[in-house]
Amino acid sequence: MKINTIFTYIVLSILGVFFLIPFIWLFVESFSPINDIGLTVPTFLTLKPFYNVLTNRVFVNSIYEGLLQSLGATFLSLLFAVGPAYIFSRKRFKFRMPLLLGILFLTGFPVFSLLIPEYVFYIKTTLYNSVFGVVLFLGVLNLPIDIWLLKNSFDQIPQSIERAAFIDGASSLKSILYVFLPLAFPILAVLIILDFVINWGNFYVPYILLSSSHLLPISVEIYSFFGAFNVHYNELAAFSIIYTIPAIVLYIFSQKYMIKALSGGIKG
Amino acid sequence: MVNVELQKVSKSYGKVNVLKNLDLRIEDGEFFVLLGSSGSGKSTTLNILAGLDKLDSGKILFDNTLVNELSPIERGVALVFQNYALYPHMTVYKNMAFPLKMLNYRKERIGPIIKEVAEKLDITALLDRYPKELSGGQAQRVALGRALVRDPKIFLLDEPLSNLDANIRSKIRNDLKIMQEELGKTFVYVTHDQMEAMSLGDHVGILHNGKLEQFGKPIDIYKHPNNAFVATFLGDPEINLFSYSWNGKSFDGDGPFNFNININISKITMGIRPENISLEKKGANTMAGKIIPKVSELLGSHTLIVAKTLAGKDIKIITDMTDIPIGKEINVYANIEDCIMFDEQGETINI
C-alpha cells in the first residue's frame, strides 16, 4: 500500500470516529442506569430507561401523534402529487413551463417564512391546534418536490406504453392507476421515505401550530426533556433511539426500490 | 365487416403539414399496406385511424359511419406498436387481460378468452413470463395477442417487423400473412420496407410527403408506376433512370439504348428495371446497347452487375449469368415495352 493511501485511511478513520461518538454516546447512555453527561463506561447495563419511556403515557402518545401526523402528511402530499405530475408529464398546455419552474422554485422556499402568516391564518380559522392543520401544512410543504420527482419518473415511461393503454381502453385515471403508478413504484417508495423522514423530523411546524400537549408529536416531545428541572439523559437517549426506529425500518423495507430508483429506474 | 374510408384528411403538427387531403379506401378483410419513407405521414395516418390523433379536417368512415370523434374502443380498432409497448410490470397473461379488464370483464370470462387466443398464437407456455424475458418474436406475438383478445374489427400494425432480427423477419412476415387470412380481419400495415409491402399487401398505398402517390395491387404498382418516385421506391435494386432528349431522328441520352417512340415531348426520362435488361439477344429484343461492368455481385440464384453506360451513367442489371468480364464493353438488350417513360415532372407518359 502506498503511503498516500494509508494517510487517507488514517484521516478518514479519525473523522469517522468523530462522527460516530455522538451515536455511541446515545447508544451507551440509553442503557445506562444513571444520568451521566459525557461518554463514560456505565457500571452495568439496564433496559430501565426504555421501560420508563415506554410506560410513560405522554411519551407513548407523542409517538402515536408523530406517526399519525407524518404518515398522514406523506399520504396527503403523494395523493395530491400524482395528478399534477401526470398532467405536467403528459399534457401540453399554456404556461406549462412557468408553472413547472414555479413549482421548482417552491421546493427551495424556506419554511419559516411561511410559518408566521400560516400561524395567523390558522388562528383565524379553526385549523390552529388541530392534527388536520399540521397534516395539511406538512403535506403541502412536501408537495412541490413530490410533483417534480414523480413527473420526472413519469417522463421515463415510453409514450407508446401510454398510447397502448389508451388503445386498450384505459381512461387517464385508469392508466395512472394501472400503468403509471406501478411503473413509477421505485420513485414512489423513495418519496414515501423522504416525505416521512422529513415530516417525522419536523420540529417547528407542530411546535408552532399545536398548543395542547396531548397533540404534540415525538419531535416536539423530545424537546420537553430540557424544560424539566432535572434532565434524565438516559431516558432522553432511549427516547431518541425510539425516535430513529421508524425511519430505519422504512429504509430497510424500501432499500430494494431505493437502489432501483437511484440506479436507472424504469425501462420500457 | 368494415370498409375504411378516409376522405380529404388533413393533419398538421404546428406549421408542418403532415397529411394533405388524403383519400384512401381500404376494403373489408384485406391486408392493406401503407408504404412510405420516414416523414411521409404513414404513422400519422395510422394514429388517426386508431383514434390516437385528432385530424384537422376531413372524414374517417368505417362502413360509411363517421368515426372522427370516437375512441379506439368505440371504433373497434387494435394497434400493434413498433416496439410492442407491452406493459413491463405485468406478466404476459396480465398484458393480454388488460384490455378486457378495462372493459370490466369478470375474471371468469377473461380466462377462457386468453387461453383461446394464446393457443391460436402458440404462446400458452409464455403466459407467466414478463416482457423482458421474451425474445423479439415472442414479444411480437404477445402484442398481437393483446390486440386479438378484444376481437377488434381492424388491426393496425406500425412497422411490426422492424425491431426483429433479419433471420426471423421473413418467418414472422409469413406468419402474419397466414394469420390475417385465417382471421379474415382487415389489417392495415405501415412500413417503409418495400419488400414487406410487395409480399404482404393485397393492396398497397404509397405515401409521399403526406400525399397518396399511388394505390393498387403491388404488382400493378410495380409494373405501372404513376411517376418516377413510385418507380424508384419499389424494387430492389432500384429502377435505372436515364435522361433522354430528341435529336431529330431518335431519342438519345446517357442510357445504353437509343430508341424511337412516337411522342411530342423532346426531353424524357427512361426507366428500366434491372431484371428487364439481358446480356443475350432473345427473339423479341428491340433495343441493343453497350455497357462496361464495374462490379458483379453473386446473389445466389442470380448476379447483380453494377456497370457504367458509355455516357458514364451507373446502371444495374440482374442476370442469371455468372463470369461477367469486368472492365470490358459488353452488349445488352432490352424491350422497349419494358421501359417506363417519365416526363420532366416525373409523371409517367403512356405510350
- In the stretch 146-165 of chain A, residues with CB closer than 8 A to chain B read 158, 160-161, 163-165
Considering chain A, what is the average pLDDT of its residues? 87
**pLDDT(A265) > 60:** no
**pLDDT(A10) > 60:** yes
Task: Dump strand ranges (E) for chain B.
Answer: 4-13, 16-26, 31-35, 57-62, 65-66, 77-80, 154-158, 186-191, 203-208, 211-216, 240-246, 251-253, 267-272, 287-298, 303-309, 314-319, 330-334, 340-342, 348-349
Q: Does A166 touch chain B (CB under 8 A)?
A: yes
**pLDDT(A123) > 70:** yes
Alpha-carbon gap, residue A98 to B171, rounded angstroms: 51
Q: Does A266 touch chain B (CB under 8 A)?
A: yes
Q: Provide the 8-state DSSP code for B269.
A: E
Render pLDDT for A67-79 as a digit per residue (tens, 0 to 9): 999 999 999 999 9
The average pLDDT across A164-188 equals: 91
**pLDDT(B8) > 50:** yes
pLDDT at B338: 86
B100: pLDDT confidence band, cut at 50, 70 and 90? Answer: very high
Using an 8 Å Cβ cutoff, are B295 and B257 in contact?
no
Residue A168 to residue B98, Cβ atoms within 8 A: yes
Residue of A nearest to B96 (CA): A168
Query: What class does CATH assign to A57-217+245-262?
Result: mainly alpha
Residue B85 to residue A164, Cβ atoms within 8 A: yes
**pLDDT(B174) > 90:** no
Say which range, A53-67, A156-170, B247-261, has the weakest mean pLDDT: B247-261
Q: What's the pTM value of the predicted model, to 2 decimals? A: 0.78
Residue A161 to residue B85, Cβ atoms within 8 A: yes
B286 vs B57, residue with greater confidence: B57
Cβ atoms < 10 Å from Cβ of A99: 14
Residue A164 to residue B102, Cβ atoms within 8 A: no
% pLDDT > 70, chain A:
93
The average pLDDT across B33-59 equals: 88
pLDDT at A8: 92
Q: Provide the 8-state DSSP code for B160.
A: T
A267: pLDDT confidence band, cut at 50, 70 and 90? Answer: very low
Residue type present at position A118: E
Give residue limits of the domains in chain A: 57-217+245-262
Residue type present at position B233: F
Helices (H), ranges, chain A: 3-30, 48-55, 57-90, 96-107, 112-124, 131-155, 159-167, 172-175, 181-183, 185-201, 204-209, 218-223, 233-262
Judging contacts by C-beta atoms under 8 Å, the chain B residues touching residue A158 are 83, 85
Render pLDDT for A189-248 as a digit per residue (tens, 0 to 9): 889 988 999 999 999 899 999 988 889 999 898 888 776 567 788 888 889 999 989 888
pLDDT at A229: 67
Residue of A nearest to B75 (CA): A167
What is the four-CA torsion angle of A197, A203, A204, A207, rounded to 10 degrees? 130
C-alpha cell at B77: 380498432
- Map grid coordinates 424491350 to a residue: B335
**pLDDT(B128) > 90:** yes
% pLDDT > 70, chain B:
99
